Copies of this chain bind each other. A is one copy, B any other.
């Protein structure tokens, strides 16, 4: 199968962007477009790597600019990687493909910012990572993959976040692979993962 073009949207450090790009040589997708809503390390990293990297600040034409760039790059799926802006209904209606997000908690626990700090403040003993399809809510779309991470006794939020990141960087390429291969079926909120096709 010819690799499928995907876009990554980022706002910050971009460690998940890096993980997706590093894994793509052994995966059926290629990151053909990186979009950021602000100047950030992710954008600088993408430029330095020679990727098609665009700054699209918020504004009346931001959705159209993003959609045009995605169409021109032949993008079939989008992965959010620390993208801090909620996608607009116009963007979600204008892009026909799947849009994934990754979140450092076991949703529906701890949606929103600083989920790892929320988890420690709540005193949970198990948290984790969620990869879900994006809808118009906040971290509310149907769940594709989750993996649990046990909180360690006396661990700081930063230590926990590092361990969550390690899981994220392994899980996100797996999720994007499943999505570009079309190996999933949704029924309401339920997402089933289908076995790989026979070659």
Given A106-B148, A123-B191: 12 more A-B contacts, CB < 8 Å: A107-B109, A108-B124, A109-B109, A121-B189, A122-B143, A123-B142, A123-B190, A124-B146, A125-B143, A128-B148, A148-B150, A153-B193
Write the residues of chain A forming the contact surface with B, with a CB cutoff of 8 angstroms: 106-110, 120-126, 128, 142-148, 150, 153-154, 188-193
Q: Lowest 9 CB-CB distances: which A-B pairs, in order?
A: A148-B148, A125-B146, A123-B189, A126-B146, A109-B109, A123-B190, A126-B148, A123-B143, A108-B109
Q: Let me know if B142 and A126 touch, CB within 8 A.
A: no
Neighbouring B residues of A108 by C-beta, 8 Å: 109-110, 122, 124
Instruction: Choose among B110, B126, B147 the residue that contacts A147 (Cβ–Cβ < 8 A).
Output: B126
> Complex formed: what's the CA distance from A148 to B126 in Å?
7
Q: Let me know if A153 and B106 touch, CB within 8 A.
A: no
For the complex formed, measure the closest distance between the CB of A102 and the CB atoms of chain B, giving whole angstroms: 13
Neighbouring B residues of A121 by C-beta, 8 Å: 189
Residue of B whose beta carbon sits closest to that of A143: B123
> Complex formed: what's the CA distance from A138 to B134 in Å?
30
For the complex formed, measure the closest distance between the CB of A171 and the CB atoms of chain B, giving whole angstroms: 11
Q: Let me know if B153 and A124 touch, CB within 8 A.
A: no
Residue of B whose beta carbon sits closest to that of A132: B123
For the complex formed, measure the closest distance between the CB of A162 and the CB atoms of chain B, giving whole angstroms: 19
